[in-house]
Amino acid sequence: MMAISRRTFIQAGSAAAGATVLGVGPATQWFGLTPDVVHNPGTEGVKVVPSFCELCFWKCGILAHVNGEGRVTKIEGNPAHPLSQGKLCPRGTGGTGLLYDPDRLRQPLVRVERKGQQVFEPVSWEAALDKVAEGMQRIKQRHGAEAFALFKHGYGGDWFKRLMKAYGTPNITHPSYAQCRGSRQTAFELTFGNGVGSPEVTDIENARVLTLIGSHLGENMHNTQVQEFARAIERGAQIVAVDPRFSTAAGKARYWLPIKPGTDTALLLAWMHVILEEGLYDAAYLEQHALGLDKLKAHVADKTPGWAYTHTGIPTQTIVETARFVASGRPASLIHPGRRTAWYGTDTQRGRAIAIMNALMGNWGRKGGFFMPNSMGVAKFTGEPAYPEHKHAADMPKGVVYPFAGSVLSHGLRDASIPGHAEYDIKGWMVYGTNLLQALPDQNKTLEALKNLEFSVAIDVLPAEITGWVDVVLPEATYLERYDDLHTPGWRQGFAALRQPVVPPMYESKPGWWIAKEIGKRLGLDAYFPFDSAEDYIQQRLAKDGRSLADFAETGVLLDKASPCYIEDGLAPVFGTPSGKIELYSQQMADAGLAPLPDYEPPDEPPAGHFRLLFGRAPTQTFGRTVNNRFLGEVMDTNVLWMNVRTAKEQGLKHGQQVMLVNQDGAKTGPIAIKATQRIRPDCVYMVHGYGQRAKGLKFTHGKGASDSAMVTRSSIDPAMGGTGMNNNFVRVERLEAV
Ligand code: SF4
């Protein structure tokens, strides 16, 4: 079958008669979602199954209770799992809201033309998989395997990575690099020769002073970090919160510095100035482990607190006082590296400044700083042939190199899908678990790319907007219905955790490993899938060390022996930089023609009448994928626009008033209510990410709140690693109703 030439968006609810739209089906009656009060049916399961969560990327251990009718009634934290320690964040406990979401994709769908209109038609798995294999094969024959790209997010994505490697493309990407944490990873690798990983190796539990630069822990729910944060505060740890917004964490802080957005590097350089001038750094540690102290001293000599005041708006004396305070906790003084650090395009330099501040505290490898992780040594899977050779990735524009890009850039592959942008064009996409219309900046460009593709397929659980643009939609089983590979991250104590089905897949959904293997079979790539099932895959790994799946039967987790993870335990830190030392001055950056010590670049100023748009997380929401969850929606089903109360008054706006946002390029949001508050600076506004979904198939969340992503039409590229700074967008506020 030939590809459909001009792909259009198929909005759920608008398909022609006889065709099926995404996620349709009779309304399901299920506990907690009916409008009537439901008597507590009891939530203790007759069966309790350990697994791990996928409502975000943290992968906490869960215990899922299943009642006698095979229904999951409750999800709790697994006490045996080091990341959950018996507790979950609100999203994790709401996992049944995803499992029983009545809007779920239920069967494979294929785009067809009926009476001149494009619609999705439900087809058998056989037909859908054949269509995918046919599309991929066609692209390979016409343009080479490299012309096909995989965008992925979530743990199950690795099955498709295997498929793509076997198929022969290097164009495998995840937006969580360039659009999220890539710059801080690069900055720490340049400085310490080690990234901070995921989960981060931050020893919040033992910190005496914890400094948060825009990290809103407690709203941004990384379960283990938040538990450690709470315990640290209970123990008397002190918090310094640097944030234009009085975050929940700022409410617990000794100091809240309401910094002008985009000026954090100026503050960090001034802190270094004070700490170096007053000799408050860990001289013995730096003497032993670091290079470039003299150059750093010279670099920050003129970065005085008075200079920083003019940029940051933080009073000079406060900068001096907080520099001394931060240093007073060393070595247990931790400046948090952050998570989504794609802010201004100068993010590697800000990340370097944070890394250098930590180095001055002498905290890498020390209690209350960054611990040195241990991993459980589970043997790798082997048995597949060597993967084919291929050209390099197409993720950078012609003639451009981002020298420290540690991963393929998602926006780069998107741009390469618009003919002529890159060295060669991308012609086909596989999109796993990521709504690229929200994950990438500049939605119009993403749409342009989608329209230029010869073939595309999405594998997902819910009918997110991206599924309306592809040629084939494959419904995946949720994390509660499938096996995935073992999770063996670096942590204080090494461990391996098992994801296993709690209940069988609902509807016609299938686990990702099966989908990838079946596509592989159709492409003649069976040899790269030498396992019968994910269970068999895991079993083959475990068997090499004399272990078996049965070892997970009791708790779902295998713990390695306790191992030291601090210098205080007698461990020597290993720095993976070229010099083997902490590189305060980065020769690598200098060699690449970039500033070897962090420079401060002032951010763009908002045009008159505009505010800088900031966005973040709420405890019940992570991404677009959580906003359709009816359970989580009970707590927060829409976002609001934080605006300084004085500014709101000046604009004639009242608390609760409906407005819409128009950005500097004329892009508009749907309605959003004003939250007039003193908890934010007057020059910016703030909203929680993920709302404003346009896909009608997401029936619960459609029409609720406004999309921050729609406002991110502009991004500034980080010259070191190619990340997209997205906090450079400005909005004006238009009234929708009088109050
Ligand atoms: Fe799940 Fe919350 Fe843990 Fe993320 S932090 S894995 S959502 S419980």
Half-sphere CA count of 454, side-chain side, radius 13 A = 20
Q: Which among 87, 89, 96, 626 is the best mutation to test ligand 1's pocket, defined by most ligand atoms within 8 Å of the CB?
A: 89
Q: What is the pLDDT averaged over residues 624-633?
A: 89
Nearest to 612 by CA among 716, 724, 707, 731: 731
Give per-residue pLDDT as tens, 661-706: 999 999 999 999 999 999 999 999 999 999 999 999 999 999 999 9
87 CA to centre of ligand 1 in angstroms:
9
For ligand 1, whether the C-beta of 60 sits within 6 Å is yes
Separation in Å, CA 109 to CA 80, 119, 420, 463, 694 = 40, 9, 31, 11, 19
Atom nearest to 58 CA in ligand 1: 6
For ligand 1, whether the C-beta of 201 sits within 6 Å is no
The predicted structure's pLDDT at residue 8? 79
The neighbouring-strand residues paired with 615 are: 687
Tell me the angle at which helices 293-300 and 264-277 cross, rounded to the nearest 10 degrees: 110
CATH topology for 182-371? Dimethylsulfoxide Reductase; domain 2 (3.40.228)
Give the number of other Cβ atoms within 10 Å of residue 696's Cβ.
19
Alpha carbon nearest to ligand 1 atom 4, residue = 56
Give the number of other Cβ atoms within 10 Å of residue 14's Cβ.
12
221 CA to centre of ligand 1 in angstroms:
7
83 CA to centre of ligand 1 in angstroms:
9
For ligand 1, whether the C-beta of 91 sits within 6 Å is yes
The DSSP element (H or E) to which 74 belongs, if any, is strand 72-77
For ligand 1, whether the C-beta of 222 sits within 6 Å is yes
The predicted structure's pLDDT at residue 709? 94
Length of the chain: 739
For ligand 1, whether the C-beta of 625 sits within 6 Å is no
Atom nearest to 90 CA in ligand 1: 2
Give the number of other Cβ atoms within 10 Å of residue 280's Cβ.
18
For ligand 1, whether the C-beta of 246 sits within 6 Å is no
475 CA to centre of ligand 1 in angstroms:
23
Alpha carbon nearest to ligand 1 atom 8, residue = 92
List alpha helices for 144-250, DSSP H: 157-167, 175-176, 182-192, 223-235
DSSP reduced 3-state for 61: strand
- Residue ranges per domain, the chain? 182-371, 611-738
Q: Which among 98, 221, 226 is the best mutation to test ligand 1's pocket, defined by most ligand atoms within 8 Å of the CB?
A: 221
Atom nearest to 55 CA in ligand 1: 7
Domains 182-371 and 611-738 in one fold: no
The answer to whether the bond into 199 is cis (omega within 30° of 0) is yes
89 CA to centre of ligand 1 in angstroms:
6
User: Does residue 168 contact residue 388 with C-beta atoms inside 8 Å?
Assistant: yes
For ligand 1, whether the C-beta of 623 sits within 6 Å is no
Give per-residue pLDDT as tens, 278-337: 999 999 999 999 999 999 999 999 999 999 999 999 999 999 999 999 999 999 999 999
Q: What is the pLDDT averaged over residues 390-416?
A: 95
User: Does residue 62 contact residue 53 with C-beta atoms inside 8 Å?
Assistant: yes
User: Does residue 411 contact residue 190 with C-beta atoms inside 8 Å?
Assistant: no
The predicted structure's pLDDT at residue 42? 73
Q: What is the pLDDT averaged over residues 549-554?
A: 94
The neighbouring-strand residues paired with 422 are: 397
**Amino acid at residue number 654:** K
For ligand 1, whether the C-beta of 63 sits within 6 Å is no
Q: Which among 54, 56, 632 is the best mutation to test ligand 1's pocket, defined by most ligand atoms within 8 Å of the CB?
A: 56
Instruction: With cut-offs at 50, 70 and 90, classify the pLDDT of residue 211.
Output: very high
Q: Which residue has the tokens 């590979």?
A: 485
Give per-residue pLDDT as tens, 368-383: 999 999 999 899 999 9
List alpha helices for 579-683, DSSP H: 587-591, 624-627, 630-635, 645-650
User: Does residue 215 contact residue 339 with C-beta atoms inside 8 Å?
Assistant: yes
Instruction: With cut-offs at 50, 70 and 90, classify the pLDDT of residue 12.
Output: very low
The C-alpha angle 36, 38, 41, rounded to 5 degrees, equals 165
The yes-or-no verdict on residue 430 having pLDDT over 80 is yes
For ligand 1, whether the C-beta of 53 sits within 6 Å is yes
Atom nearest to 77 CA in ligand 1: 8
Q: Report the distance separating Cα 223 and Cα 61, nearest Å.
A: 11
For ligand 1, whether the C-beta of 58 sits within 6 Å is yes
Q: Which residue has the tokens 């995404």?
A: 22
Give per-residue pLDDT as tens, 94-142: 999 999 999 999 999 999 999 889 999 999 999 999 999 999 999 999 9
The C-alpha angle 585, 297, 211, rounded to 5 degrees, equals 80
Q: Which among 51, 54, 55 is the best mutation to test ligand 1's pocket, defined by most ligand atoms within 8 Å of the CB?
A: 55
More confident residue, 30 or 674: 674
User: Does residue 398 contact residue 422 with C-beta atoms inside 8 Å?
Assistant: yes
78 CA to centre of ligand 1 in angstroms:
12
Q: Report the distance separating Cα 206 and Cα 201, nearest Å.
A: 12
CATH of domain 611-738: 2.40.40.20
Instruction: With cut-offs at 50, 70 and 90, classify the pLDDT of residue 480.
Output: very high
User: Does residue 290 contact residue 582 with C-beta atoms inside 8 Å?
Assistant: yes
Nearest to 357 by CA among 191, 603, 567, 205: 191
